[in-house]
Amino acid sequence: MLSFVRQSAIILLFLGLGEGIAYLTEDVFPSALIGMLLLALCLRLGWVRLTWVKGVSDFLIRYFGLFFIPPGVALMLHMDLIREEWLSVTVAMLVSTFLVMGLTGWTYQLVRRRQKK
C-alpha cells in the first residue's frame, strides 16, 4: 500500500489538474469538481488503482463533517442578511433540494437500465 503522503500527492495532482483546466476554461466549472471527475475517470479506466488513494479518501470521508464548519461560521456571520431574505433562501433551498433528488433518481435509473443491457 502506498504511504499517506503518496496518496495525498495523487489526490492533490488531480486537484491541480482540475485547477489548471478551470483556469484555461475561465472557470466554467469548479476546479475541485473537474479534478475529482478526472480522478474518477482514471479510476474507472484503471489508470489509477483504488489502493493508491483509498487510505486518504477514507480519512477525508471519515472527517467530512469538519469541512462544513467554516461555511457554518460564515452563515452565522451573515444571519442578518439571511433574516432579511428568508423567503428567497427557503424557496431556493427547497427547489434545489428537490431538483437534486429528482436528477439523482433519474440518473440512477438510467445507469441501472444500462447495466441490465
Q: What is 24-67 written as a DSSP string?
A: HTTSSS-HHHHHHHHHHHHHHHTSS-GGGTHHHHHHHHHTGGGG
Distance CA 18, CA 3 (A): 23
Q: Report pLDDT for 104.
A: 96
Residue that has been written with the C-alpha cell 460564515 in this structure: 74
- With cut-offs at 50, 70 and 90, classify the pLDDT of residue 70: confident
- With cut-offs at 50, 70 and 90, classify the pLDDT of residue 91: very high
Q: Across all residues in the chain, what is the average pLDDT?
A: 92
Q: Report residue 19: phi and psi, to 5°.
A: -65, -45
Q: Report pLDDT for 2.
A: 59
Q: Mean of the pLDDT values across residues 80-101? A: 94
Q: Report pLDDT for 24.
A: 92
Q: Mean of the pLDDT values across residues 42-67? A: 92
